[in-house]
Amino acid sequence: MLSSKYISVSFLLLSLSLHAVNCTDPLYHFCFSQENYTATSRYGTNLNGLLNLLSTKVPSKGFGLSSTGQGQDQANGLALCRGDVSKTNCTTCVIDAGKELGNRCPYKKGAIIWYDNCLLKYSNIDFFGEIDNKNKFYMWNVQDVENPTSFIPKVKDLLSRLSNKAYANPKFYATGDLKLDSSSKLYGLAQCTRDLSGLDCKKCLDTAISELPNCCDGKRGGRVVGGSCNVRYELYPFVDA
């Protein structure tokens, strides 16, 4: 396994126009396992079966996990779609994610990929129920707000409220907004993978919020995205009602 990764990708958030970016483009990925498999191996067969299973299991509820095979050849995986994503778009995202990881992490036993609409992770190691603190990256808008002194506490306030709301929601998902002035609002999202306990979901989200100063203080938008949870804020609506 590779050591903890904290990747900054500000170039992916160049301006507010980013909300028009094609949602089929991956945000980021990690090939986190140094172990390989072959196409004809039992693990390869189990992984293919796992990806097919997740593509049918996940869309109905927006989340799913499963394992195929046994022992050292067992493939474990989960997929999570953003809480507002339709069943059709969730299906498309999970299928695309599996194909894309096959291209980007060929024959690696462990990998993870994120899109705007979903994340997909698999490994030969059983990781269910554990907070993933190793696979993480940051994104932010390169533009600064005019008054960061008053803006930064409002970001923390909104996301903290959403953290409390998300971990108490069976879907571990929450969105909301906060009025900044007569003509503008701050929009936020908090979400966890549902293999976590409620308390671990909140722990994961609160840790992500605490890391925002590493990337995003005073920025017009930002995200901390991990393998178990993510938080995001923007000055425009970015989820479907």
For residue 220, the 8-state DSSP code is S
Supply 165's token pair. Answer: 């709301």
Do residues 8 and 136 touch, judged by C-beta distance below 8 A? no
Residue 30: closest CA among 142, 132, 126, 141? 132
Distance of alpha carbon 207 from alpha carbon 212, whole angstroms: 9
Question: Per-residue pLDDT for the chain (241 aa), expressed as one digit of tens each?
Answer: 223 344 544 434 333 333 334 457 999 999 999 999 999 999 999 999 999 999 999 999 999 999 999 999 999 999 999 999 999 999 999 999 999 999 999 999 999 999 999 999 999 999 999 999 999 999 999 999 999 999 999 999 999 999 999 999 999 999 999 999 999 999 999 999 999 999 999 999 999 999 999 999 999 999 999 999 999 999 999 999 7
Q: Can you spell out the DSSP letters for 139-159?
A: EE-SSBPS-HHHHHHHHHHHH
Give the distance, in angstroms, between the CA of residue 200 and the centroid of all CA atoms in the same chain: 16
pLDDT of res. 3: 32
Characterise 107 by phi-psi region: left (phi > 0), alpha (psi -120 to 50), beta (else): left
Is there a contact between 233 and 201 (Cβ–Cβ < 8 Å)? no
Q: What is the pLDDT of residue 216?
A: 98
Structure tokens at 135: 């696979």
